Chain A
Amino acid sequence: MPDDPNSEFAAAVRRAGVTIPDDRWQAMREAYYGMQALLKVLDDPLAYEDEPAVLPRYDMGAKP
């Protein structure tokens, strides 16, 4: 692990339970931070009534 083991990325890798070879560590690290930068928009406030798109529908598929 060519990185500070306490870094956010190293922790994310441990949590995911995957192994990244040393020669791909830097590329994956950059990808991780690039992805997190793109996802900042998900931190924008949402209203309580903004429910997720994927919700169970128990009226579907109930017919024999």
Chain B
Amino acid sequence: MSAGPLPTLAAAGRRIAAGELSPVALTEAALARAETLNPKLHAFIEITAERARAAALRAEREIAGGRRRGPLHGIPYGLKDIYDAAGLRTTAHSRLLLDNVAAGDAETTARLEAAGMILIGKLATHEFATGGPAFDLPFPPARNPWNPAHFTGGSSSGSSTAVAAGILPLAMGSDTGGSIRLPAAYCGTVGLKPTYGRVSRRGVAPLCYSLDTTGPLTWTVEDAALALQVLAGHDPRDPGSAEVPVPDYRAWLRDGVTGLRIGYCRAFNEDGEVGPEQASALDRTAQTLAQLGAEVSEVALPPNAQFQACARTISHSESFAIHARDLRTRPELYARVTRERLMLGGFLTATQYVQAQRLRRILTRKVDALFESCDVLLTAIVPGPAPVLEETDDGPWRRQQPLASVFNVTGHPAMAQPCGFAESGLPLSAQFVGRAFDEATVLQVGQAYEHAAGWVEKRPTLATL
């Protein structure tokens, strides 16, 4: 193994199947890269080297014995530290859970382990998957591999950092208002928020029961498809889990976009104060898709203000309900930014919560209606490249109206992926959105675009570290 970035899931799987790469060598490479880069990037809260080495040896023996479990067998991955893994701490990056050792695996962890993957460690997050980058916590915030002076996005910050830095080909994130897609956008990775109910949330620390989703961050779209294949499926012990058949996500992956209808949400982007570099990159993305044979037309989403009212009321209310006791009795254990943002939920009324849930159904119906004339929507996920870390909003009320939570409100699957670079060298990102439970078409469009655009070839140099 070279000392460079780890190969993608697809490439590693092919090489392991061909006997050209050993799980032990691949795991050692991941551990070495983690040990070298983590002091500068703070992607990991805990590196589980001993456990990883034992699992790699097991995988190697199984594969050598002709018992290869599938395309992910013997490949390293990481978990945002809100996912349970039996015997390991789940801290949620918080003082409150420093001694919280998981008794069992999250359903998602269990599925990745059953696929034969090798857990390398638990990854940094914004505290309880909310708040923001904070320096008054037991663990430092993760840093952006493209430029550590810039924000990683969040809350799956360690996940995006580890994938972008080439330490891991797969890291799990969670997305309540954009927390998979925002860090994917700022760190130049692929981040897939599946449809609400598609992937189990059981064993993952909750932030907001009716908005939380779990999903993968990867370097390529094909890797997102490979991960989703293992993760997707009904979990009867997750009350939000949907009993919907899981297709073969790679079956259409290379079918291209000829004849697919792309709805470009240009007006929505302008409503979200998207900057000129990001807007131009999205225009070029739409043009590329048209050149590839897609039918691109402009469509109008409902006003962002309605989505924001919905998302914030629901998210703040539910997260306050989860944290109320601790906020009242030991508030000093939270980071200031987390504490203040969580407390806002205590100021909302039951009427506001119910009205938000009523508006949510209306908005979902309106977005569903767009899919009568489109197969996939193209929107912005962030207004521009990652801001400087010190300029990140750490007040109790986020001034900027985020673009990401729209599809948490409606539950549709949404994927962020690179669509260019700013003059500063930082990544820009596009978001593809599909019909409920139609992640396959989102992946198909993303794959076609990724292949045509070629951004996937550019990795952070890590020279400034």
Binding site for B on A (CB under 8 A): 9, 12-13, 15-20, 24, 27-28, 30-32, 34-35, 38-43, 46, 50-54, 60-61, 63
Contact = CB atoms under 8 A, between A and B. Distances in A.
Interface string B385-399: 000000000011101
Contact of B347 (A12, A24, A30, A51): A12
With a 10 A CB-CB cut-off, give which of B210, B236, B242, B309 has the most chain A CB atoms: B309
Interface residues of B, number: 40
A46 B355 contact: yes
Contacts of A46: 355, 358-359, 362
Contacts of A43: 355
A61 B313 CA distance: 28
Interface stretch (B46-54, B324-332, B415-423): B324-332
B307 to A, nearest CB: 10
Contacts of A24: 336, 340, 396
Given A18-B331, A28-B396, A52 B305 contact: no
Nearest to B364: A53
B397 A20 contact: no
B308 A38 contact: yes
Contacts of B362: 46, 50
A19 B331 contact: yes
Contacts of A60: 239, 242-243
A11 B86 CA distance: 44
B343 A28 contact: yes
Interface string B200-243: 00000000001000000000000000000000000010010111
Given A50-B362, A52-B360, A53-B364, 13 more contacts: A12-B347, A18-B346, A27-B395, A31-B395, A32-B344, A35-B312, A35-B344, A35-B347, A39-B313, A39-B352, A42-B356, A50-B361, A60-B243
B98 interface: no
Contacts, number: 100
A19 B243 CA distance: 43
Contact of A31 (B324, B336, B344, B355): B344
Nearest to A60: B243
A63 B210 contact: no
Q: B-side binding surface: helix, strand, loop or mixed? A: helix
A39 B359 CA distance: 12
Interface of B: 210, 236, 239, 241-243, 305-306, 308-309, 312-313, 316, 320, 324, 327-328, 331, 336, 340, 343-344, 346-348, 352, 354-362, 364, 395-397, 399
6 contacts: A19-B328, A31-B340, A41-B305, A42-B355, A51-B358, A53-B361
Contact of A42 (B309, B340, B343, B347): B309
B359 A18 contact: no
A31 B352 contact: no
A41 B309 contact: yes
A39 to B, nearest CB: 5
Contacts of A15: 346-347
A6 B213 CA distance: 40
Nearest to B320: A16
B205 to A, nearest CB: 20
A53 B340 contact: no
A28 B340 contact: yes
Nearest 3 A/B pairs, CB to CB: A16-B346, A31-B397, A52-B357
B322 to A, nearest CB: 14
